[in-house]
Amino acid sequence: MASITLEKIVKTYPDGFTAVKGVDLDIADGEFVILVGPSGCGKSTLLRMIVGLEDITDGELRIGDNVVNDLAPRDRDLAMVFQNYALYPHLTVYENIAFPLRLQRGALSEQDIDAKVRRAAGLLELTDHLERKPANLSGGQRQRVAMGRAIVREARAFLFDEPLSNLDAKLRGQMRTEIARLQRALGTTTVYVTHDQIEAMTLGDRVAVLKKGELQQVASPRGLYDQP
């Protein structure tokens, strides 16, 4: 677990378009921050820079005390969950969850992998489905496998990019409860992008509002939505 600090973070794409225009944000160790804002305001760009899938044009990104601007994704030790949680269709639930552990630097024993996969599966109530393939799971179960893949590494932080937007309303409600419970149980620093006002109001410690690449406001959910 670790804090995430953004200092004057800028992203200019190769075509010259500046999608993120000097964002400052301090996310405390264990904090759950929701990132909201209109489509195209730079939310995904910001997440992708934090996880290392997009270069940072200017500014400083720190995870804990380390400046990570130039670190490869695998060395940042973060876990990201996308909305189109791509699972490996030919692998079982067990192997999908184990996959990130097998990629890690420093080989883990099969015994360690097994213990970690079973712990993550237990937290997500997937224990009975470990031998199934993704095609034979419900949407909610697939989403939980994607979460399992994120939590199994005990990463320093979670980054969620609208993870529930492809689910129907009922499943979304269940998964919302699940995510809140999981984050409390694990206490992992989390940045969560959403369009959903209920998620924004109920999940986070703070809500950050991005508009045209600039941070407009950071407040508690109450502070934000109780305004006249």
The residues binding ligand ADP (CB under 6 A) are 13, 15, 17, 19, 37, 39-45, 51, 53, 72-74, 78-80, 100, 103
Residue nearer to ligand ADP on the CB measure, 103 or 169: 103
Tokens of 193: 């992008």
Separation between Cα atoms, residue 142 and residue 133, nearest integer Å: 10
Q: Return the number of the residue (80 or 124) whose C-beta is nearest ligand ADP.
A: 80
C-alpha atoms less than 13 angstroms from C-alpha of 167 in its C-beta half-sphere: 22
Phi, psi of 113 (to 5 degrees): -60, -45
Nearest distance from residue 190's CB to ligand ADP, in Å? 13
Q: Are 33 and 191 in contact (CB under 8 A)?
A: yes
Query: Hey, is 85 helix, strand or coil?
Result: coil
To the nearest whole angstrom, how small is the minimum distance from the Cβ of residue 78 to ligand ADP?
6
What is the DSSP track for 148-178?
HHHHTTT-SEEEEESTTTTS-HHHHHHHHHH
Cβ-based nearer residue to ligand ADP, 125 or 191: 191
CB 4, min distance to ligand ADP, A: 14
Nearer to ligand ADP by Cβ, of 38 and 173: the residue is: 38
Instruction: Report in angstroms how near the CB of residue 35 gets to ligand ADP at its nearest.
Output: 9
